[in-house]
Each structure stands twice: as C-alpha cells, then as structure tokens.
Amino acid sequence: MSVGPDAPAPGAGPFAGLRIWWTMLVISIEERLVYRGDFALGTLMRFLPIVTQVFLWTAVFSATSRGDIAGYSRNDIVAYYLLTMLSRAFSSMPGLATGIARSIRDGSIKKFLVQPVDYVSFLFASRIAHKLVYYVVAAAPFALVFFVCRSFFPPLPDAMTVAAFGAALGLSFLLGFFLEATLGMLGFWFLEISSLVFGYMLVQYLLSGHMFPIDMLAGIPSGIPGTSLADVVSWLPFQFTAYFPAAVWLGKIQGAELGRMLLVEAGWVVVLAIGCRFAWRRGTRRYSAFGG
C-alpha cells in the first residue's frame, strides 16, 4: 500500500494543521484522564524500589571506608536515583513501540494511511497528552518524595545549570519518543517485535544509568584497548534518557562539556527523528493491510 501518509487536510486553511493537532491532543488528554486513579497509585508505587536502593547504598557506604564511589557520596546516590525517576518521567514511553507494532499487525494503522492525519504527529500529540496528564497527577507524589528527601540533595544549582537540566529533560522526551517510535516501526518488517522490545528494555535499563550512575563503569575495561565500559556507554543515546539530566543537576557535568553533551543529545534527537520518518515511509510502502 502506498497512500501518501503526510497528505494535507483537504480544503484546509493555514491553521487547519494546528487545529487537527490540537484536537488530537484534547482527545488524548480526555482518554488518559479516564484512568487517573490508577495513574496516581502507580506513580507512588514506582518510588518503592528506590526505597530499597537507598537502603542498599547506605549499607554499602557503611561497610566501606571510602567517602565516595565514582565521585558520588551516599547523598549524591540517593539524589541521583530520585533524579533519574524524574528523567524517566520524561523519557519513558510505555507501550509506544508495542502499540505501533500492534496496530501494524492488526491492521488498524491503515486508517492513518487514508485519513489526512499524519501518524507520527498523532503519536506525538497523544504522547504529549499522556505526559501532561502524568505530570498533573504525578506532581503531588513527586513533590512529596522530593520534599521528604530534600536533605540528600546538594544546594540548588545556578540558573544556567537549571536551564541546562530543563533542556536535557525536554530533549530526553524527544529522544525517548523517537527511539521507541522507530523501534515500533520495525513492526512493518517483523510484525511481532516483543522480543526486540524486551531486548531494548534490558539494554535501556542497564545502559541509561537507571540502575546505577554510569560513572561507576569508568574503571571497568570494555575489551577495546584504552576504553572503559563507561566510554562505550557514552557513545550510545541511552544515557540521555536517565543519567544525563541527573548528572547535570548534581553538577557532575559542567561548562563546555555540558554544552557539548547537550549538542550530542540534540544530534541524537535529529538522527532518530529522521530514522523514524524514514522507517515510516519505507514501512508504509511495503505494508499489506490486515483486518476488516
């Protein structure tokens, strides 16, 4: 099937595209709010594993004579885990890749091939809606946990660092979206991508810094002469989805290095956005519709 997926709305004025986009956003917000109770409960529960991590690292520090591990004090590590929760609130895209693959498999994606609605924009709008609702519902549990744990955090960083942190979070949202959307588009070729998604989740969890600060891998050789595992991880985009924003807030990355890393992150966003568009165009060309 090769219907142009990006065709403009017929008989549309200059703001029609914007109006369609706004409608998609409003519909998605209403959809998300149906499950607000489940959302709030789920958000609070997601902090429970952090509690065990805090106790684990406290025990680790109590048994070692070192004041810091890979440049992180005990308080830094607790703050780091909490900040990665915030990073993941921006970059994680639950159900995006599997949702795309499912609509390819069951044929429901074909409506986007004939309707004057761009599929990637639709996904993007509904993901923004998902996140906006999430932030409204999750703000209270997040604020509560961060307030209770405020003593673990260093003093507020300067305005420049806060701005860089905001930019890192915004870019991590875009990065997470295009990364998962591209993965989902692979469904045009494989139909069933659950094992790919699982592999991605595994790699993501390990290499994003969600499990531990990536700096801890600095002393571990990668097998490539002269490079550590931390070097290898720094060549990949995953670190921007959890580690990077947290490290920025904690002042682990500063000055010219901070600017350079933000540019690298923006570069990854562009590369993945192009990759996602490319996969969509190539995929829709080879797509055979299923379902009635």
d(CA 270, CA 17): 22
| Residue 60 identity | V
Query: Is position 55 an interface residue for another protein (rule: CB under 8 A)?
Result: yes
Residue 247 CA to residue 213 CA, distance in Å, equals: 8
Angle in degrees, CA 67, 73, 74, rounded to 5: 105
**CB of residue 127 vs another protein: minimum separation in angstroms?**
21
Q: How many residues bind another protein (CB under 8 A)?
A: 32
52 contacts another protein (rule: CB under 8 A): yes
CA atoms within 13 A on the CB side of 131: 22
Check binding of 48 to another protein (CB under 8 A): yes
Complex with another protein: residue 1 or 202, whichever CB lies closer: 202
* Nearest distance in Å: CB 192, another protein: 10
Tell me how far apart the alpha carbons of residues 281 and 178 are, in angstroms, rounded to a whole number.
Answer: 15
Contact between 240 and another protein by CB under 8 A: the answer reads no
Q: Is 288 in the site for another protein (CB under 8 A)?
A: no
Q: Which of 146, 153, 200, 205 binds another protein (CB under 8 A)?
A: 205
Does 262 engage in binding with another protein (CB under 8 A)? no
Angle, helices 119-148 vs 16-33, to 10°: value is 50
The CB-of-37 to another protein minimum distance in angstroms stands at 9
CA dihedral 35, 102, 45, 140 (to 10 degrees): -50
Residue 51 vs 140, nearer CB to another protein: 51
Three-state DSSP at 149 gives coil
Q: Are the C-beta atoms of 210 and 204 separated by less than 8 Å? A: yes
Q: Is 150 in the site for another protein (CB under 8 A)?
A: no
What residue ranges bind another protein (CB under 8 A)?
38, 41-42, 45, 48-49, 51-52, 55-56, 58-64, 66, 69-70, 195, 198-199, 202, 205-206, 211-212, 216-217, 219-220
